[in-house]
């Protein structure tokens, strides 16, 4: 029970850390981080979008291709293929000039149903 609580607290702290980093480093301090429905925000337009990938799905960032290989059964860890090289990303990593944040993962016994929500931005 204590291990589960520690794991949950760690996940909450990492989520808060990613939020603070994105809200201050990407959007910029003093910029609004929320918007009212129907009103576009120029500050949020510059923030990197979240990308949800399923197993073997890929997306491109400039000349770089990112493909989801697999998702860990526990925790926010994924295996990505970036320009042909395989990398394990646990929560956050900088690989080949890309900042990658693992926001959320979905694990299923069926590998085709596994997915991950990532924030990917060029450094």
CATH number of the domain at 97, please: 2.60.98.40
Predicted pLDDT of residue 93: 92
Predicted pLDDT of residue 46: 59
Residues 40 and 81 occupy one common structural domain: no
Which of 115, 112, 104 is CA-nearest to residue 59? 115
Residues 53 and 70 occupy one common structural domain: yes
Domain range enclosing 94? 48-123
**b (16+ CB within 10 A) / e for 3-42:** eeeeeeeeeeebeeebeeebbeebbeeeeeeeeeeeeeee
Residues 22 and 59 occupy one common structural domain: no
Residues 23 and 9 occupy one common structural domain: yes
Query: Is residue 27 pLDDT above 60, yes or no?
Result: no
Residues 54 and 104 occupy one common structural domain: yes
Per the model's pLDDT, the better-predicted residue between 25 and 65 turns out to be 65
Predicted pLDDT of residue 30: 46
Counting every residue, how long is the chain? 123
Residues 29 and 67 occupy one common structural domain: no
Per the model's pLDDT, the better-predicted residue between 116 and 6 turns out to be 116
pTM exceeds 0.85 for this model? no
**What is the count of structural domains for the chain?**
2
Residues 57 and 76 occupy one common structural domain: yes
Per the model's pLDDT, the better-predicted residue between 29 and 72 turns out to be 72
Residues 67 and 82 occupy one common structural domain: yes
């Amino acid at each position: 029970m204590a291990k589960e609580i520690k794991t949950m607290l760690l996940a909450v702290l990492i989520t808060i850390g990613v939020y603070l980093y994105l809200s201050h480093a990407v959007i910029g301090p003093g910029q609004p981080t929320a918007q009212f429905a129907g009103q576009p925000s120029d500050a949020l337009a510059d923030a990197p979008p979240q990308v949800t990938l399923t197993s073997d799905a890929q997306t491109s960032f400039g000349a770089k291709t990112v493909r989801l290989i697999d998702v860990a059964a526990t925790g926010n860890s994924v295996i990505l293929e970036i320009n042909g090289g395989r990398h394990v990303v646990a929560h956050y990593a900088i690989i080949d000039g890309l900042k990658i944040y693992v926001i959320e993962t979905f694990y299923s016994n069926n590998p085709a149903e596994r997915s991950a929500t990532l924030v990917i931005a060029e450094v």
